[in-house]
Amino acid sequence: MRAIEPNGSGRLHTHGFSIGYETFGDPANPAVLLLPPWQIVHSRIWKMQVPYLARSYRVITFDPPGNGSSERTAEPAAFEFERVSRQGIAILDHLDIDRSSVVGFSRSCAYALWLAATFPERIEGVVLLANGVSREGWTRPPGPEFFQPRETYTGWEKQNAHYWRQHYDDWLEFFFTELNPEPHSTRPIDDGVAWGHETTVDILIASLTAPGLAPSLSVRDALARIECPVLIIHGTDDRRLPIAASYDLIAARPDWELVVMEGCGHGLPGRHPVAVNQLIGDFLRQRAMSDWEIPRARM
C-alpha cells in the first residue's frame, strides 16, 4: 500500500516509445519532475520523496523505457539520454505544465542538467542526487571487459554481461547492497532487488552499451548554458559514482551548492529520505521566494 496514491496517471507514446507516468498533489501548485534513473529501477525509487513533496507541489514521475509502466524494449535508441529527457518534457506538455523544477538521481542527473541547458525557459531549478556527470563526460560506458567471460567474478567484476545472464539474482543483491552500504539497509536493498526483477538482462545490457547514449551537447557547453540554481547532494561513501564528479561540477560552477552527506552511500532517496526531503524542500522554497543568493558548499 502506498503512502499516497496518484491523482493522475497514463501512458504517452512519445519520441518513439510508450511511457507511463503518474501525478501527485494539487495541480495548482508549482511542478516538480522526478526523473527516472537507470532501468534497473523504476519511478517507485521516489516513493519516499513523493508524499513529502506532494504536500506543497505538483509531483510528476515517469518510468524509463524498459521498466515500470513503460514499454519493455531492448532497442538501443530507447536509452539515449536526450530521448528520455525529451520524454519528460513531452509529459509536461501533455499535462499543460510550462515550468517545472527537476530532480535527478544517479543516471538521471545527466537528464536534469541537459534539460536545464536545453530548455532554460522550462526549468526553474535542478537538484542532483548522487551525481556522476563531470566535465569529462555525461557517462562512462563499460569497457570491453564487460563482454569478456572471466574465471572468477569478485566485487564490481560482477558488472559483466556473462555474469548477469548466469547469476542475475546475485548481481542484483550485490548491486543494491553496494548502493546501500549503511547498516540497517535491508528495506532499500529488498526494494531494489524486486524492481530489478521487473526488467531484463537484455534491457540492462542495452541501456549501458547502446551507441549514442550521451547527448551531443558537451558537458562543458551545458554547464556554461545553465542559468537556474542547482543543488547537488552526494554521499562520501558512494561506491557507484564517487563524489569526485560532484566536486568537479562545483569547481566549474562555484555558484551552485553542494551538500556533502558524510558516510552515506549512493542510495540517498531511499536510505536517507528525511535529510534528502528537507534539502529538496528548502531548495524549492528558496526558488519560490525568488531571492536566490549565491550559496556555499556545506560540508
Furthest-apart CA atoms within the chain: distance in Å: 58
First to last CA, the chain: 37
pLDDT band at residue 295 under the 50/70/90 scheme: very low
What value does the mean pLDDT of the chain take?
95
Q: Name the CATH superfamily, with its identifier, for domain 8-141+214-289.
A: Alpha/Beta hydrolase fold, catalytic domain (3.40.50.1820)
Q: Does the pLDDT at position 159 exceed 80?
A: yes
Give the model confidence (pLDDT) of 226-284 as tens digits. 999 999 999 999 999 999 999 999 999 999 999 999 999 999 999 999 999 999 999 99
Indicate whether 293 pLDDT > 50. no
Query: pLDDT tens for residues 243-257?
Result: 999 999 999 999 999
Is 60 exceeded by the pLDDT of residue 292? no
Rounded Cα gap, residues 78 and 216, in angstroms = 16
**Domain boundary assignment for the chain:** 8-141+214-289
Among the listed residues 103, 67, 34, 51, the one whose alpha carbon sits nearest the alpha carbon of residue 195: 67
User: Could you tell me whether strands 58-62 and 230-235 are parallel, antiparallel, or unpaired per DSSP bridges?
Assistant: unpaired
pTM given for the model: 0.95
Q: What percentage of the chain exceeds 70 in pLDDT? A: 96
Cell numbers found for residue 71: 514499454
Give the model's pLDDT for residue 68: 97
